[in-house]
Structure 1
């Protein structure tokens, strides 16, 4: 009898003819924990996947993305971000445990949620938001790369980080006004290519837009991003 990777309670699953004769994916979490993931649903922003409501939208865009697209420094670089879940208190604690406290096993909880969505995206190259050398040494692994490793998806290193301050401590305006934080590793590899960038959380959209801008200016054709939460 397995334990849930999140709450550590024993998982009791009923034995059925299907479970006996078919090879079903092994669940890592109990039904109670799975129910705490709040899927993003309904009508969403055409760029960032935020659920739309009448007080925070203009046509098919949320007001955040409208501000980005009305800024000539940032307009047109990010084609679309796909996020799966709302960044609620449950997921905030889960990602903190995974990302900052080094519980690598939680990649096996999060990665399967991404699988079907990634299979629906069309791309030439897939990459991840890189960490600085100091941050990678501090954490021991790149949280986005670990998700692709679990799914056995080969990624390409397209970016390195050149600005190392923690963005989580900055305001939205400070993030927008940062100088470019990424450098493209190979311009030849991305010419005319569609690229998907994987990260864990979409907050203000600054990080993924910095990455998208760097790649687009270096010759990539289309940039989409995918995150677990927003």
Structure 2
């Protein structure tokens, strides 16, 4: 089998255990797996910012300006340079198998987050953006987690968040409209948590309509 990312042949390790029992063929090579990295110890409990002890400054600021909107965000991988390139391949160039490289660890983090059982909400794309990409990345991640996403929002404009600076993102008007209220705890699934503005825009609408708890789950932080 070849690595889904760099396409070199993956050779499973041979140990006394695998000698008697065939090993599971890995989808990614060791070098790519190391570059993808994983968020393990030392992360902000509020947003999962890697390499941070305790609550980070951004989360402290959010709680002062918009208290109680988001319970927490859980992420699986850091948004490093290697992962940025993979996102570009998957999200903008249609290399859909890239998501499979993250799938196993994503599912493990999902189960350990104790979000399973909550309603999973997708982040909507504008019709223009959906036509450009051909798929909704939020829904694709949900299916990779073996969850059925619910669509309860619509987006009012098609401007790319990735093209906006941090200040513009933080000051942006809410681009979403809630189609109907939800009375159960929910988790919003998306690809990247950058400033946290997107999920808090959605959380504010949910909370206004009586949702008791809103969290988010992302591949990257």
Give the TM-score normalised by structure 1: 0.86
The two structures, once aligned, show a CA RMSD in angstroms of 2.2
Q: 1:70 aligns with which of 43, 61, 64?
A: 64
SS at match of 1:35: helix
Equivalent residue runs for 1:68-147 within 5 Å:
68-71=62-65, 74-120=66-112, 121-122=114-115, 123-147=117-141
List gaps (5 residues or longer) in structure 1: 55-59
The Cα of 1:70 is off from its aligned counterpart by: 1.4
2:40 match = 41
Alpha carbons 1:162, 1:183 under 8 Å: kept: yes
Alpha carbons 1:110, 1:147 under 8 Å: kept: no
SS at match of 1:78: coil
SS at match of 1:36: helix
1:213 match = 204
Distance 2:127 2:25 in 1: 34
The Cα of 1:9 is off from its aligned counterpart by: 0.7
The total of aligned residue pairs comes to: 219
Distance 1:75 1:23 in 2: 52
Distance 1:138 1:221 in 2: 35
2:213 match = 222
Distance 1:98 1:205 in 2: 22
Query: Judging changes above 3 Å, is the alpha-carbon distance between structure 1 residues 115 and 181 closer, same or farther for their aligned structure 2 residues?
Result: same
Distance 1:180 1:131 in 2: 14
For structure 1, which segment, 140-149 or 44-53, has the greater mean C-alpha deviation from structure 2 after superposition? Answer: 44-53
The Cα of 1:98 is off from its aligned counterpart by: 0.6
Distance 1:67 1:6 in 2: 37
Give the TM-score normalised by structure 2: 0.89
Equivalent residue runs for 1:132-211 within 5 Å:
132-187=126-181, 190-191=182-183, 193-211=184-202
